[in-house]
Amino acid sequence: MRAEDLLTDTPTASAVAEETRKLPPPSAEATESLRRVLESSARAATPAPWPALLQEARGKMDSRHAGPVTSHRGGLSGPALVLAKRAFRLFFQPFINEALRKQVEFNESILDALATIHDVQREHARTQAQWRQEVDRRLARIEAATRANGPVEADVPAPGPVVEVGTPGGPTRTPAVETPAETKPPAPGTGGGGRRRGRGGRR
């Protein structure tokens, strides 16, 4: 952290920056692993337009106003009917508005709910795609390591460093070895699978 990136009077920004410089540098592997995961999770804020499949319904949401007044009759009766219909609407529109107010509110609510469901599905799909990419990447790394170390080492995971992870009953020590099982994607719609342990690369 640079001192110019800090706004603090006590302790001073330079004192805090100095302390951050004294922190033991994390391992290159951990830093690289973190960089990768942060990169894969990055997402620019982009406007989400209304889902195309809801656009038509959205256009018809406000049911208080009917289409343009017409008549199929010819002669004088056609224009007279159009005039009468217009007069009717003009006079009764406030009552129509009031009668249909709840319906319009309902239409709006149901469209919002549908749009939300659409957005949630989109988020799940995005998460699943990120997971697939992560799984592919990890598999590629495992395959590369297998080719380099020979088939025996690939089948039997070597004892590696351990990290402490928490459980409801307290911390336990778990081998920090990445296996395909650890990268199981969350079940669709659940927002996540069970607790995964020791992820984050070998430390």
Partner 1 sequence: MLPLAALREPGVKTQRRSPPPSGPRAIHQLLPRLAWGDAVGNQVRYLQGLLRQWGHPSEIYAEDWDDACKDQVRHVRECARDASDDTTWVVHHSFESRLVPLIARTPGRKLLVYHNVTPARLFEGFERKVAAACDAARDELLAMRPLVEHAFAYSRFSAEELSAAGFASVSLLPFAIDWSAFDAPADPALQAELSDGCANILFVGRAVPSKKVDDVLRVFTAYQRLYQPRSRLVIAGYLHRDGAYGAYLHGLKEVLGADRVRFLGRVSAAQLSACFATASAYLSMSRHEGFGVPLLEAMYRGVPVVAYGAAAVPETMGGAGLATLSDAPTDVAELLAVLDRRRALRDQVIGAQRERLRALSQDAVATQVRRAFDEVLSAERVAPPVAWPSTGVELVCPGFTVRPDDALSRVTRRLVERLPGARVLALRPRGEGPSETLAPTRVEGRPVWHYTPDQPVGREGAPLPGSSSLETAVRVSSTPVVLLGADTLCAQALAPRVGARAWGVFEPSVAATALEASRQHLGARLRPLDPSREDGVVDALVNAVSSSRGISHAR
Residues of the shown chain interacting with partner 1 in the complex, contacts defined by CB under 8 A: 1-2, 4-11, 15-16, 19-20, 23, 26, 30-31, 33-34, 37-38, 40-41, 45-48, 50, 112, 115-116, 119-120, 122-124, 126-127, 130-131, 134, 163-166, 170-171, 185-186, 191-193, 195-197, 199-201, 203
In this structure, are residues 198 and 174 in contact, taking their beta carbons and an 8 Å threshold?
Answer: yes
Residue 82: CB minimum distance to partner 1, A: 34
Torsion of CA 84, 87, 89, 91, to 10 degrees: -140
Task: Report the distance separating Cα 122 and Cα 34, nearest Å.
Answer: 25
Of the two residues 10 and 102, which places its CB atom closer to partner 1 in the complex? 10
Task: Report the distance separating Cα 65 and Cα 90, nearest Å.
Answer: 11
Residue 159: CB minimum distance to partner 1, A: 19
Among 12, 126, 101, 197, residue whose Cα is nearest residue 1: 12
Residue 79: CB minimum distance to partner 1, A: 38
Of the two residues 85 and 197, which places its CB atom closer to partner 1 in the complex? 197
In this structure, are residues 97 and 64 in contact, taking their beta carbons and an 8 Å threshold?
Answer: yes
